Amino acid sequence: MSVEIVVPEVGESIVDARVARWLKREGDVVSAGEALVELETDKIDVEVSAPRAGVLAKIAHGDGDDVKIGEVLGVIEPGSAAELRGAGEQEPRGAGEPRGAGEPRGAGADASRAAATPSARRLAREQNVEIESVRSDGPRVTKADVERSLGRDDAEPHAEAPAKPAAQSAPSARPQTTPVSPAGDRREERQRMSRRRATIARRLVEAQQTAAMLTTFNEVDMTVVMELRARQKEAFKARHGISLGIASFFVKASVAALREFPRLNAEVQGDEMVLKHYYDIGVAVGAAEGLVVPVLRDVQLMSFAAIEHGIREFARKANDGSLTLEDLRGGTFSITNGGVYGSLMSTPILNPPQVGILGLHAIKERPAGVGGEIRLRPMMYTALTYDHRIVDGSDAVRFLVRIKELVEDPAALLLDS
């Protein structure tokens, strides 16, 4: 009896997806639980596995097709490819490259491919690397494993690494390129946005249309934090197995400041304000398709070390494409650090339905007045974008001043923890 392969439910807020790439072709023998096709959703990539063993007899939606939750992707027939052909059925062609009339590929042919993350496979295809040859210390080959096999120095993921350009997929899944002019220096090309990129674009426009966004600025003297990190970096790493970064200071300071200015930890629902007395802080990290904002939950209960571990784990997941919907769900306030890209000042955009986002920037030595003297100090501009519908300008300014006070005197963070 045939079994249908359907688009699974991946979250209550996700209603459709795009077929990124079939890992099998029509006529291939498949095992139960074997990955068959990659789907791209607004938030995460999903692999759909075979519900039973048999032969992939039909592909209903090829690479690049948009599909709804519950829609049929393909059909698995019981038995083997040889049995189907023996019954008079012509061997079908798949959505990928054409195949000769030789022996059908068995279920084991793509076993190692199924044990790699989607981002690892994309990078391997772009760099002409056989994914089967890449070694991994974990259960699946990740993007970082492929980068190490290429000898890249930046193979290890870290929280403050800039996002890498989106990798091109296999020929069957590559966006359509339309040269407009034969002249090499005037060539244009048209590329279809990925679902995630299109969603980012839509949400940015929606944020500007629905919220009354304003941004206020301040600057923070990072001298004490830099000195503290220099003194404690070895002991902190030996004790916790991770370096003490900048972000954890601002995460801690944000929680303390949000307690004093609760409307920045709220959202607007109709004509009501929903004030939240828990602190789930989104921390923007770089991913192939742009920044994503996974959420550290109940940050008020977390130590500096726990925050650093959480951010590092999110960076790793963003790098190898393993972020889950739960990682990205919710959030009451967000922090984004444009400084890792070299930004000196910017106006961050809200992450709806949140009403506040803190922007961090590059630390640069600048002249500053200290005790009546002019000295060079490591300074950082900070920015707070807020929804003026429920946050008054005075509260926004004082919130950012409180962030400045707490970071310039980190001992105060202990009293507010």
List residues with catalytic annotation. Answer: 388, 392
Cα distance between the two ends of the chain: 61
Query: Measured between alpha carbons, how far is 335 from 209 in angstroms, rounded to an integer?
Result: 21
Q: Which two tokens stand for residue 389?
A: 């519908």
Tally of CB atoms within 10 A around 127: 13
Determine the residue type at 165.
P
Its sign, for the CA torsion 165, 166, 170, 176, is negative
Run of H or E including 328: helix 325-328
343 with 380: CB under 8 angstroms?
A: no
What sign does the dihedral 146-48-102-81 (CA atoms) show? positive
Q: Which amino acid is at 370?
A: V
Amino acid at 138: G
* DSSP secondary structure letters along 210-277: HS-EEEEEEEEE-HHHHHHHHHHHHHHHHHHSS---SHHHHHHHHHHHHHHSGGGGEEEETTEEEE-S
Measured CA to CA in angstroms, residue 382 lies from 81, 246, 349, 399 at distances of: 62, 13, 14, 11
